[in-house]
Chain A
Amino acid sequence: MAIECLVLGAGQEVGKSCVVVSINGKRIMFDCGMHMGYADHRRYPDFSLISKSGDFDDALSCVIITHFHLDHIGALPYFTEVCGYNGPIYMTLTFLQYPTKALAPLMLEDYRKVMVGRGEEEQFTYENILDCMKKVTAVDLKQTVQVDKDLQIRAYYAGHVLGAAMFYASMGDAAMVYTGDYNMTPDRHLGAAQIDRMQLDVLITESTYATTIRDSKYAREREFLKAVHKCVANGGKVLIPTFALGRAQELCILLDDYWERMNLKVPIYFSAGLTMQANLYYKVLINWTSQKVKDTYATRNAFDFKNVHSFDRSLLDAPGPCVLFATPGMISGGFSLEVFKHWAPSEANLITLPGYCVAGTVGHKLMSGKPTKVDLDKDTQIDVRCQIHQLSFSPHTDAKGIMDLVKFLSPKHVVLVHGEKPKMDLLKARIKSELGIQCYDPANTETVSFPSTQFVKADASNTFIRSSLTPNFKFLKDEVKAMAPLEVCDERVTEGILAMEKGQKVKILHQDELLTMLGTEKAEVEFGYCFALHICSLKRVLPAIEEISVFDENLLLSVLNMKLSNEVGMQDRVGSLEVNSFRLSICKNDKCPHRRNGDGDGNGDGSSEGIYFCCNWSNLDMKLAWRVISLLKNMDSGVDL
């Protein structure tokens, strides 16, 4: 059994998040997003890779959507209504009470309108969106959902945006977490991501800010407030393009507090009805907000802004200062572009850009350098004279947050998605070197697979169960290092022996039982291990080997023994090296039962170039044996041997 990750979107890029994970035979699609930067087929993930025949219901066990941003949910109506997926879809909880599900149709409808407004071909209709939403099952935080007999999923709070969740999925003994987008530091209106410590095989995490380390948010807030205050004090207008939800509320709480403290009378506007409607949702969905909002909720709802009014188009060219929140966030079209056209030519005005803009949008053009002119299309060109303030707070976690989460969860493997390739490479290297965890950053349409933990069902004998109930710890002292501190270990499980008899179920016995079962007086367990060392690597380490005939075993062994003598003193017997119960010899039996092929380190590919060494030892010398084996295997890499 294994875990396979097929990345359909957001592999080494930001946009159209979509990862299909096969976990012990079940397939789950995490997120189903669209790319904002493209208008052609690249806009949606390539669903044909999931199933050639187009029968998605059989191919997928379920679809899980982490939050309602378009790059995570945008392709869902297309997938269900156009491609015809009919299986279960999970999002965080239902209408009004359940953020993602409640907010998702809003978001999708807004997007559809923009598309149609741009005169593009309609991909799906409003009815499609509604139909799609009917198929959705809602999930609450920390609620374990049994998707089918074996597959379990659970949602954890992710911060980022209202209703965003990380998802834990377990199938049998394999377990994994898909983070979606998350934030490790709390905002004013949202809390920090929160998850339990679990045994995980794979962690799939976003890496938008794979190399950035942000300083304290307090300083950023101060700078932002200063810039806005200066602009309105000089009579300028401030345009804050934001995604409809989340950032707008965050900045609005910040500005509203500040306005009150400084006693400012400059109006703050919200552009479309949509954002106002979103505010309404926020007021109701208090359970998903930060501790602060929850705490003050009893006295005053933090989303009842005192200084905020809704914007009327006629105010666009009205004199006097104001602050305006407009969608969409990257000035890729819609109302914020319209406002931009009006306000950009004046030096008094200010545009605050979000920390991240997708390439190809006006926001991205404004961020790269300081352009004086921006081409909208072939015919329109706009003079940009206004001030630009880049606002680097972002609902995504920074590099330190990613590292902290990975360290906390300590999974066996990490997969990075939702980031830019060069930065992901750096983060990948850090995770490998600092935490010692295998890390991957597959590109779109690539698959990575990992072995998952294997479990065998076995019966246990009564004696073994009884012995397992009573504590039986022992103290270990490292014999090699005399000054090493004490180590505790619990022996009760290691006392068990797995017995496999032909035609019977696998059974675990207590070691005392074994003799009676076998009907003998003495039984000794011996371990065997047979591995190959490449001739060339042997030659590198032992230059003397040139002179020795390869088949002069004794000589070869004694040379090896000399090499190892610093670490382990072994006795040189005829044809073998021995220490305590450990015995090493050259193996010529091609069908040696202990033989290991394809060890993963590339040494034992079974080619004739290698020399096989066969080892066996008894339980007592377990540590010693593995030490010698690892010494031999790493002989060519370790210089100091």
Chain B
Amino acid sequence: MEQKLLSSLEQIFRIQTKISLKPFSMARSLILNPSTSDQTISSILQILETLSTATINPKFDLLNFITLLCEISIVHRHFSPTVTTILRSLCLHCPSIPPRAAGLALSTLVSIAPASASDLGPAFSEGLFLSLCFGPCVPVRQRLLMDAEKFRVRPSVLLTVLLGFTKDPYPYVRKAALDGLIDFCKWIVVNDHLMVEGCYLRAVELLFDTEECVRCSAVHVVNEWGNWLVENSEDKSKRDCSDALYVQLCSMVRDMSKKVRIEAFNTLGKAGMASEYILMQTLSKKVLPTTKEKMFPGQLSGKLLSLPASSAAGAFIHGLEDEFFEVRSSACYALRMPAVLSADFAAGALGLLMDVLNDDSTVVRLQALETMHHMAVFGHLKVQEMHMHMFLGTLVDMNSSIRFTARKVLRLTKLHDLPLFKLAADSLIQSLEIYPQDEPDVLSLIFDIGRRHGSFAVSITKEILSEIEPSSESTCDFNSSKTAARLVLAISAPLSHGKQQQLHSIPSILYSYAVTMLGRISHCLTEVMNQDTLLAYLSYCSRSTGVNPIDSVKMVEDDLPTETNGRLTCCVRLDMVHMSDGGSEIQSQGLLEPSQIAVPHVADNCVKFILANIGEIWDMTKLGCISEVLMTLRSWKEELATFITDSHQSDSVLILTLQYLHLVKLLSKAWWHVTCPINFIYNEMGNLGYILQKLESTLREVRCRFIGLSKEDELHFLELMLVACTLRLSIFDASCPESALTKLYSTKSRVMLLYEDCSIEPSRFVSELIKVLQKNDTCDISRFRESLEFFSLNQLVFSGSFRYMKAEVDIGDNDWLKPLPFVAGLPVDIPLKIRLHNTPIETKVWLEMRMSKDLNQYVFVDLKLFDGSDEIREFTFIAPFYRTPKVNSFILRLSVGMECLSEEINYFRGHGGPKHELVYLCKEKEVFLSMVVKQC
């Protein structure tokens, strides 16, 4: 059959002068059949080739001819080189080729091998592309514009062409041009600001197009190019620029087309920063006073020349009320970014989201819960009593993924009073009764919230006991999951981070009951502890009475964090094997005042644990799991904070560890921003510059305020400083590369000195960095980036005995009711009691008095004039303030700082003030002053 077809085909082509459609359809049937042999195909190609050389025949149907070639290249890929040759010769030698055929030929050529078009010479491909685009044939124009980027047209030409065709009368051409512009923004660095603005404004104009597909693409372009404009605008106008973009996108959520609304919310979810007042406006349909008068520049021509900020009014309310679940779901998603930016917004949005939990669509409910989870990760979830009814309802939802997500949110929720806690616990137990299949997750959640809210858990153990006690009339089934849940809640309390003193109140019999359910409970707590540990813990607790069980809970250093379910949990192994019965008695006799001695001991272990494991955290950061890292760091910080008491001496280590955690947090954030700028949501969540600045100042503070750090420790912090500088240098719009470079050089020399002193090899990162600096090619950002790859967080060992500098300032009896008197224009004396801890005599201490942002005055405090030791110095100091303003009353903000001598750069202020940067030793104090009233 194949042969027959082929021979008749050859015949027709040879004989007929006037070619009808018949041979084409025959050839086509041969080509499209995948079982046609290669031989046949090649003979067809041969026929076609001979035909193409004799194309002078005007009747020759080029379009069908090229269609055949195109189909061959698609179905029989290995013939594409031949196809390419034929097509190329056709394009070159046949000037009167009809536009449709030419368009098809060109697209086929570039789709076979993108390089082949350029073989024709770039000018040829470009020329053909342009002439076809500007030709009268609309479908060809649309098709070519749709994959414009393949044609290797010079970017400057392509940009003008695309921009021009946004004005085309055919909507699909407009759409294709806009879609081209979206991509354009990504892969070409445009320098002409006016051009970009022109594109942006043209897209804004097309937001009002009559066709919905054009409006959809326009929303996309406005977002992309608008973001470019925001990034490249001057700092002053940056905020206005991003606000204008946000409002512009918000104004599209009232479009009549569902597609446009979805697109608008999707882009809003990816949008960058916006001012808080705008965000708050999106939650209120009424125009707020803050946005009433605000106008942004709008469109270039037409009626809507300016864009009032009030266009953002109620954007999210409309979205969450929308008729289509797709839109509602997108709106829930779009809430994430602003909820991270502003806590007030998150509080407002939470009210709306709680109502959304009543939605009939599962997708929307799930998305709402996910958004809440997102808020919780960033610490902006503040659940109130009025929300609880709605929220806890989702725990018994029909859909299992909703229940799961609801539990995920609950795990991170802070329940701030007992009724809330009880409500949550009861609902969990109730949901367990309805859905027993959820038991593992529910029990582990109960264990978790019990640990987080230890004191609440303790206060409801009595109830638990009374319900479980077999003596009472309760018909408690010891096999029920309800009982298991209650027991888990009870045994979780001693492991909480909270106040341990109340723990005696847990009846030990509960532990005995829990032992009976050991298998069941340990199955649920596999993420937290293994069965042996649980048994040891339970049996110990059930035997001892009156002893604080927390003493026996010991963290073991070699416990490693395990990753389950994408969630990072730290395994706490409770090592109690060494505690025999007798041993525990002896120990309990020895610990006379457990609250004083036991706590530092536990804290010590905690610090060791953290220091040992922080390296792993760093690996997570490198992998990009930023939210998990932040979560873990936060939980560690919370745990550490519980150990800090009022005594000053013992907690230097704790404070340094806390500061260190803070450093790592900032460093991870900054790292993440620099290395993973793809994800839009997080990308703008905090200004990178701001984070880096904070990181640097914290590093400085650590180095100055802790005296007696060992060289190794100092080296560790210096290396972090190097990382911070490198991070700053490796971002594109580095604001002050000069100063960062200077700092880098100075820090580097100090680091090298220390390495020599300690006689250890420089780390991989440092040596790479030195190489980069030696090449002196500092403008190359990528080099700095490369060196960052080698950085890893080494373990920090607090080897020296260091102390923590600290100041306390007391102003005596002064508040706004009892202000200090002053006379305007005359100096005023402010009597202060200052207590300094761990300040060597050579420390240059300054008192800063700040009245407004730029009006401040420094007074030098000469330590030589006062008595006291390095450990503690206490004295009264009369600080004069000279520039009293002509007002009835004012507030002076005082703080004590020390000059940071190790900083090499002394650009700081001058005349009379400190020469180096100040590091503050205490929190700011407010002094209230009021004009003396003349008495007549």
Which residues of A are at the interface with B, using a C-beta cutoff of 8 A? 185-186, 191-192, 194-199, 213-219, 222, 290-292, 295-296, 398, 400, 404, 407-408, 410, 434-437, 466, 469-471, 473, 475, 483-490
Contacts and interface: CB of A to CB of B under 8 A. Distances in A.
B71 interface: no
A489 B164 CA distance: 8
B198 A487 contact: yes
A197 B210 contact: yes
B210 A410 contact: no
Contact of B210 (A185, A198, A295): A198
Given A471-B134, A485-B197, A487-B300, A408 B256 contact: yes
B254 A475 contact: no
B136 A185 contact: no
Contacts of B160: 475
Interface stretch (B49-57, B314-322, B436-444, B692-700): B314-322
Contacts of A296: 360
B413 interface: no
Nearest to B316: A216
Contact of B194 (A434, A485, A490): A485
Nearest to B193: A485
B255 A292 contact: no
Contact of A214 (B201, B285, B313): B285
B168 A186 contact: no
A436 B305 CA distance: 10
Interface residues of B, number: 48
Interface string B142-170: 00000000000000000010011111110
Contact of A410 (B303, B320, B325, B352): B303
17 contacts: A185-B318, A185-B321, A213-B285, A215-B286, A216-B320, A218-B352, A219-B355, A292-B361, A400-B313, A410-B303, A473-B164, A484-B194, A485-B194, A485-B200, A488-B163, A488-B167, A489-B167
A214 to B, nearest CB: 7
Contacts of A215: 284-286, 317
Nearest to A472: B134
Nearest to A219: B355
B20 interface: no
A483 B194 contact: yes
Contact of A434 (B166, B308, B360): B308
Interface in B305-359: 308, 313-314, 317-318, 320-325, 352, 355, 358
B852 interface: no
B356 to A, nearest CB: 8
B509 interface: no
A295 B362 CA distance: 13
Given A469-B136, A490-B169, 18 more contacts: A197-B209, A197-B256, A218-B355, A219-B355, A290-B323, A408-B256, A435-B303, A437-B303, A466-B136, A475-B163, A484-B194, A485-B200, A486-B163, A486-B194, A486-B195, A486-B198, A488-B163, A489-B167
Contact of B321 (A217, A437, A470): A217
A485 B198 contact: yes
Interface in B79-119: none
Contacts of B313: 400
A204 to B, nearest CB: 18
A292 B360 CA distance: 8
B256 A186 contact: no
B301 interface: yes
Contacts, number: 109
Nearest to B215: A197
B208 A410 contact: yes
Contacts of A290: 323
A466 B137 CA distance: 11
B202 interface: yes
Interface of B: 133-136, 141, 160, 163-169, 194-195, 197-198, 200-202, 208-210, 254-256, 284-286, 300-301, 303, 308, 313-314, 317-318, 320-325, 352, 355, 358, 360-361
A490 B314 CA distance: 37
Contacts of A475: 160, 163-164, 198
A398 B317 CA distance: 14
B321 A186 contact: yes
B256 A194 contact: yes
B495 to A, nearest CB: 37
Contacts of B135: 470
Contacts of B325: 291, 295
B210 A408 contact: no
A291 B209 CA distance: 26
A217 B361 CA distance: 17
Contacts of B136: 466, 469-470
Contact of A195 (B133, B256, B352): B256
Nearest to A436: B303
Nearest to B305: A436
Nearest to A401: B254
A488 B323 contact: no
Contacts of B317: 215-216
A443 B307 CA distance: 33
A192 B323 contact: yes
B389 to A, nearest CB: 10
Contacts of A473: 164-165, 167
B590 to A, nearest CB: 59
A549 B826 CA distance: 68
Nearest to B166: A488
A408 B198 CA distance: 24
B297 to A, nearest CB: 10
Contacts of A197: 208-210, 256
B347 to A, nearest CB: 15
B157 to A, nearest CB: 13
A6 B200 CA distance: 44
Contacts of B324: 291
Contacts of A469: 136
B274 to A, nearest CB: 21
Contacts of B314: 400
A408 B253 CA distance: 11
Residue of A194, A216, A290, A487 with most partner-chain B CB within 10 A: A216
Given A196-B256, A470-B134, A488 B198 contact: yes
A471 B168 contact: yes
Nearest to A478: B300
A435 B194 CA distance: 28
A575 B732 CA distance: 62
Please provide the 8 A-B residue pairs with the shortest distance between their CB atoms, ordered closest to farther.
A486-B198, A469-B136, A485-B197, A186-B323, A218-B355, A473-B164, A485-B198, A404-B254
Contacts of B256: 194-197, 408
Given A194-B256, A436-B303, A291 B321 contact: no
Contacts of A488: 163-164, 166-167, 198, 202
A42 to B, nearest CB: 36
A471 B300 contact: no
Contacts of B360: 292, 296
Nearest to A191: B323
Residue of B133, B208, B254, B303 with most partner-chain A CB within 10 A: B254
Contacts of B141: 471
B301 A471 contact: no
A213 B286 CA distance: 6
B352 A471 contact: no
B301 A487 contact: yes
Residue of A194, A199, A486 with most partner-chain B CB within 10 A: A486
A322 B256 CA distance: 41
Contacts of A400: 285, 313-314
A485 B201 contact: yes
B168 A218 contact: no
A436 to B, nearest CB: 5
Contacts of B303: 410, 435-437
A279 to B, nearest CB: 20
B200 to A, nearest CB: 8
A216 B194 contact: no
Contacts of B321: 185-186, 216-218
Nearest to B390: A222
